[in-house]
A and B are shown apart, each in its own frame.
Chain A
Amino acid sequence: MALQVYTASLLKEGLVAYLSLEDGSPSWTADIRQATAGHGELLDSLKAAAEKSAQDNLVVAPYAIDVLETDAGWMASTKREQIRAEGPTIRLPQDKSRESRRAA
């Protein structure tokens, strides 16, 4: 049975987040590799925690996605979810001024 993690968008920022459940206490991370993956009962508790976060207006529209295990940690199994996890696959337009501001 495939392992799944819970993902959603953060209400305030709109950014992608993954649910991590440590000793029963939930937190949302931008890094899919830090997410808690599971199936069966663990997945049920992930689902409950995710829905609670939605009710508490922390996140929007949580859902479960399939993940694969790699050396670096969890990786989403579909292209769509990989792009969601990693960001656009193209170089974002960037001004030189902005690049130098970043570097500074």
Chain B
Amino acid sequence: MYQYSEQDHQLLLERVEQFRGQVQRRLSGQLSEDEFKHQRLRNGLYLQLHAYMLRVAIPYGLLSSDQMRTLAHIARKYDKGYGHFSTRQNIQYNWPKLEDVPDILDDLASVEMHAIQTSGNCIRNTTSDPLAGVSRDELEDPRPYCELIRQWSTFHPEFNFLPRKFKIAVSGAAHDRAAVAVHDIGLRLIKNAEGETGFEVHVGGGLGRTPMIGKVIRTFLPKQDMLTYLEAILRVYNLLGRRDNLYKARIKILVHETGEEKFRELVEEEWQKIKASGLFLRDEDLTWIKGFFKDPEYETLPDRDAEFENLLLSNADFARWVDKNVELHKQSGYRIVYLSLKTAHQPPGDVTADQMDAIADLSDRYSLGQIRTTHRQNLVLSDVRLQDLPALWGELTALDLATPNYNHVTDIISCPGLDYCALATARSIPISQALTNRFDDYDYVNDLGDISINISGCINACGHHHVANIGILGVNKKGIEVYQLTLGGSAREDASIGKIIGPAFEADQIVDAVSDVLAVYLENREDPEETFLATYRRLGEAPFKERLYG
């Protein structure tokens, strides 16, 4: 993974000192709340329903074991012993004290971490494929490009006061595990007719109040031009993006209102003028950055293992876990392991300090000391030897991290909702727990197959409900929490926005409603291979509507 240079370290230290000064000036009354708010929001520090909330960046979702231990330490020392992994691959702490935040940032800086640009109208943490570098369907590792984007965007002097927040995702595989279509900019590595790799550039995706799928603004961008092209897009957006209405300020609205064709012309025209500038990526720049993401020294191993196969036959629980949470690796004799953060006992994405420490140790022992976070709020150990799977499974089971449900019905995304969030209109975590309790039966989960349920506690859509196969949006209707159901969304390469199926349900009806939807699917699918989404797309909403509303 990327190793900080002296300058990278220096920058973090300067930033922590600057923020420490700001906190001191706030506590002593020299800064008013209005003035301080701008500063804390540039450092991921919000004031939430019960307390401050600190969002820490995990660049493209990649963590070392030492970083994970530091996250555990922070959870224990400054918070209530847990953290929340978000849909943007970051981690949030729900209870830090203002006076402790500079010390937290110091601890983070000691392991090359920070909260820079995790809030505010700037370029946020770049997200990516959690299987980068290890999956079989990958064209090229996206992480070197993410790291270049991280450096380019950090304290970018021109783009720190954009019309609105700006999120970039990069994916390098055939399957899109980074939801590139719903980002302000999504970059997909592809091959052109000449066999060169470059980017397909999606612009103007986003969720929130007006969900939109990004438009392909350029079908092929040579890699060398990545940063000049991003700079051109951002410049057009900074100059022309709407600032008169907060809800129309995202780039998706600019693309929509300008028209795709015209927007493309504007970007291309700007780009022509800067494409030869200092941001052009020379081959040696790419070689340098790729050097940080070289394959580890994999052992030469057979892709079979007797002990593993015996356990597979003799232990149904192990077999279920392997079936659901283990994926093939590009390297023979290795596997990718998903750690499920989705149980009925803990809110989706929440991890306790002890679990974090244990995960760090497991990654050291079994997976080359690295952990990835996923946009579906789970974790990944990316380089586990096949022969180690039985032992790892035992340890994960003891930690309650081995629920066999990856990409299945109980693998629910949920935002914090009204239990934590000051903007929420309804609770989301209790709904996710009620659904998990209802559907927590392996045979049922297995039968339903690949499916996604996502829940947001308000229209801001932090829980990605629009792009779930089954999306749930909590709304406040005359003081009562009610839940709107959307069907047919997808965040993958076939991205689509779900459609609201009808009037909202009260909290005690929503689980039944989802259950009905699942029943309609099971009754109508052509065969067990047909996924929920495929069935919905084939049949349309009618049979679902009929069952739900008669």
Residues of A bordering B, CB below 8 Å? 9, 11-16, 54, 56-57, 60-61, 78-80, 83-84, 87-98
Contacts and interface: CB of A to CB of B under 8 A. Distances in A.
B33 A13 contact: no
A94 B98 CA distance: 23
A84 to B, nearest CB: 5
Interface in B71-121: 76, 80-82, 95-99
A90 B352 contact: no
A13 B96 CA distance: 7
Interface in B23-49: 26-29, 33, 47-49
B346 A13 contact: no
A88 B420 contact: yes
Given A79-B479, A84-B49, A11 B27 contact: yes
Contacts of A96: 354
Given A83-B418, A95-B352, A95-B353, A14 B81 contact: no
A14 B93 CA distance: 13
Contacts of B95: 14
Contact of B98 (A11, A54, A56, A90): A11
Nearest to A91: B345
B156 interface: no
Contact of A61 (B27, B33, B352): B33
Nearest to B99: A12
Contacts of B353: 95, 98
A80 B474 CA distance: 13
22 contacts: A11-B26, A11-B98, A14-B47, A14-B51, A14-B95, A14-B97, A14-B98, A15-B51, A16-B50, A57-B29, A83-B49, A89-B419, A89-B430, A90-B429, A90-B430, A91-B345, A92-B82, A93-B346, A93-B352, A95-B353, A96-B354, A98-B353
Contacts of A83: 49, 418-419, 427
Contacts of A84: 49-50
B351 A88 contact: no
Nearest 4 A-B pairs (CB), nearest first? A14-B52, A88-B419, A93-B82, A95-B354
A59 B95 CA distance: 16
Nearest to A60: B33
A84 B82 CA distance: 20
Report the interface size class on chain B. Answer: 35 or more
Contact of A12 (B49, B50, B97, B424): B97
Contacts of A93: 81-82, 346-347, 350-352
B27 A12 contact: yes
A13 B81 contact: no
Contacts of B424: 80
Nearest to A87: B50
Contacts, number: 90
Nearest to B84: A93
A81 B40 CA distance: 24
Nearest to A57: B29
Interface in B317-359: 345-347, 350-355
A51 to B, nearest CB: 12
B403 to A, nearest CB: 15
A78 to B, nearest CB: 6
A56 B427 CA distance: 34
Given A83-B49, A90-B433, A95-B352, A12 B98 contact: yes
Contacts of B346: 93
B505 to A, nearest CB: 17
Contacts of B355: 95
Contacts of B481: 79
B549 to A, nearest CB: 26
Contacts of A88: 50, 419-420, 429
Nearest to A61: B33
A72 B479 CA distance: 22
A78 B50 contact: no
A65 B350 CA distance: 31
Contacts of B52: 14
Contacts of A61: 33, 47
A10 B276 CA distance: 52
A96 B98 CA distance: 27
B69 to A, nearest CB: 15
A98 B81 contact: yes
A57 B27 contact: yes
Contacts of A79: 418, 476, 479-481
A54 to B, nearest CB: 7
B51 A13 contact: yes
Contacts of A94: 81-82, 352
A20 to B, nearest CB: 19
A61 B427 CA distance: 23
A12 B36 CA distance: 13
